[in-house]
Amino acid sequence: MQKNTQGLLTDYTYTQNRELSWLRFNQRVLEEAADETVPPLERLKFIAIFTSNLDEFFMVRVGSLLDLAAVSPNSVDSKSGMNPCQQLKAIYDTVPRLVETKGQLYRRVSALLEIEGIRDLTYKDLTAEEKAFAADYFHSSVLPILSPQIVGLHHPSPHLVNKALYVAALLRNKSGKKSLGFIPVPLSLPSLVLLPESRGRFLRIETILRQWAPTLFGKYKVEETCLICATRNADLSFDIDKFEDNEEDFRLRMTKLLKKRAKQSIVRLEVNQKPSQAMADLLTGLFPVENGQVCYDPTPLTMGYVYDLEKALGENLRKSLTYPPYTPRWPEDLIPNRSMIDQIRRKDRLLFFPYDSVDPFLRLLSEASERPDVASIKITIYRLASASKIARILCRAAENGKEVVVLMELRARFDEANNIAWSKMLEEAGCKVIYGIENFKCHSKLCLITLQDKEGTHYITQVGTGNYNEKTSALYTDLSVMTASPVIGADGAAFFRNMLTDNLEGEYKALLVAPNSLKDQLCQRIDGQIAKGKEGYICIKANSVTEREVIDKLREASQAGVEVEMIIRGICCLRPEVLLKTENIHITSIVGRYLEHARIYTFGRGKEAEYFIASADLMTRNLQRRVEIACPVWDEEIKEQLRYILDTQLRDTAKASFLQASGAYLRKEPGKLPPLDSQMEFMQTSLHRPEPIPISQERGSLLKGLLDWLKKPRAS
């Protein structure tokens, strides 16, 4: 045990640092590139995902730690006892090993693709005809838009744009003096050029530019070149999320710090090869980075080209190198030509993305936008697709005279511009757009449809674990419950009233809402299982676990003999199976074709079990500094469906890893049985039972269909 900043003893024997846990998660992403059951081009995409994940980690988390080190160097992480500088050192020590593994896998996957005729070429690999083609392409398409720059007395050092590529050149003038030159790789150019008459031979644009760099600096001789890429602190404004493990209020100090900072600092400088000592000295002298912040990576420094390559390949070749296409299904227990509202009134419904189609929810919204008895549609939005059908339906509803209230979160990181654009369009269509509560991001996923007729007011409420984004609903696993429960509907109505009046302390009968009550309610339910001792059971599926109070409560449950099973995809600061502390806690992580994103909280077994789906992970930011919702599931059939999801993932031996007491992960062993891939099973097995159509309705719909067909005009 160690003393924290308040002088209290903190036990770190069953917890681990958040940042190092995240790096282990990204390592599991990278390991998918080593899985021989994954198609070769998909394996290359996992390397690209690993790379973009690591970029964002440096931009946000490492940038935050550097800020924290500047304003509060003695602050201590509540899960490891490490101060900011110690965490940064651990990160910079760990990343080179991951980059080395990335290089090994990149070479292995590239060799597999080369067998199929797909090859990332250098100039020495080109035929005479291909060299002529490349020269023509450079002079006609590249050279006219280049802006090479020399660093000198009259040429200030360039500002390296975050994650942009540059060709750096070591120059020598006639007197022998050495200096640096830079050529920004133009963003307007395609990332690669597919060579003519080839199956998949290509040149990356930076390869072309580097080849011709010696011709671009006039009287200077180019002695060597390399590619560089700077990663900058991406927190452009104060965000309390970065300091979630600290109890101090850093707002004032951070605001002052940010006002003084003219440019966001460089947190990592990537170089594609070890330069000469002369060039290295000039680079590190020009840009304020320490040795540990310089990363040498011989693989492509930016990997967006992988997705352009996939599009450029012929259809047949692309199909042979990627996952078989999967079309989300319409749930069998929903009848396509029947009113969605009427079907939900009869029984609660569950959608399981991406295995189920998002179309039933779109159909529900569309029906609500047209029905005369619908008075209003209210919805929370965190991220939207760039071509959002949901937003367009909301606009149509407002144009049809419905009251449409949209709680739009403008602070969704890296989606700010998209959300601002959609908020303007929604307002122009007549929607009432509000922007949440100051200092609290609204991350909840709630849609409330209010109907009014002669019998009174009725609600259809949809609660989800993922964003209202049709694009990510085909890539992320998420859950969506649609219910006509008057209790949940009344809570939904109260929630929107509270949001409109900046009231975070509202009370709800069924919904668990952060930041006011969600954490306390979860801890109370854990206490309920602790009271049962060895008869107690908890199962939690989430993306991340960092909240110290929840971690400690789960440790109490383990010590009381409660069986705790957890499916945690990413960060997990709780270390399981530590003797006498967390020995009854077992944690699995699944990384596969789809991003595991659903959250399910289960307390108890059998008919007494309580089930919730939620927008919140068990993170300090979600439970204390965001507006989140966990919704109870009361329908027995949906409970069975959720139990099936959890049981299937707990049995996964193809894509699952066990978290060890040490903090390391081990792949599950399939044993004597064939490996079980839970995502593959969900693609092949539906959760839903078909709902029979009553005979009278079936005959009526058939008769109506026949009459409609007879009325259609016929060609003579």
Stretch (H or E) spanning 29: helix 18-31
Structure tokens at 183: 């050529």
Q: Which of 139, 154, 159, 443 is catalytic?
A: 443
Distance CA 659, CA 291 (A): 33
Contact indicator for 248, 71 with CB cutoff of 8 Å = no
| Torsional class of 503: left (φ above 0), alpha (ψ -120 to 50), beta (otherwise) | beta
Alpha helix stretches (DSSP H) within 195-304: 205-212, 251-260, 277-286
Exposed / middle / buried, residue 336 (Cβ in 10 Å: 0-12, 13-18, 19+): exposed
Cross-strand bridge partners of residue 587: 566
Element counts in the chain: helices (H) and strands (E): 21, 29
> Which is it for strands 118-120 and 200-204: parallel, antiparallel or unpaired?
parallel
Exposed / middle / buried, residue 684 (Cβ in 10 Å: 0-12, 13-18, 19+): exposed
Non-local (6+) Cβ contacts of 513 within 8 A are 444, 495, 506, 627, 628, 629, 630
Distance CA 121, CA 334 (A): 52
Q: What order of strands is seen across the sheet that includes strand 266-271?
A: 149-150, 178-184, 165-172, 221-232, 266-271, 294-296
Q: What is the CA radius of gyration of the chain?
A: 28
Contact indicator for 667, 659 with CB cutoff of 8 Å = no
Distance CA 602, CA 238 (A): 36
Contact indicator for 58, 267 with CB cutoff of 8 Å = yes
Known active-site residue 443: yes
Contact indicator for 639, 633 with CB cutoff of 8 Å = yes
Distance CA 555, CA 605 (A): 19
> Which is it for strands 403-408 and 374-381: parallel, antiparallel or unpaired?
parallel
DSSP structural state of residue 329? B
Amino acid at 349: R
DSSP structural state of residue 694? P
Contact indicator for 341, 461 with CB cutoff of 8 Å = no
Q: How far is CA 715 from the centre of its chain?
A: 52
CB neighbours (10 Å) of residue 404?
Answer: 25
DSSP structural state of residue 147? -
Structure tokens at 107: 């070479």
Non-local (6+) Cβ contacts of 53 within 8 A are 26, 29
Structure tokens at 212: 């011709």
- The SS3 of residue 338 is coil
Distance CA 34, CA 50 (A): 13
Mind telling me the catalytic residues? 443
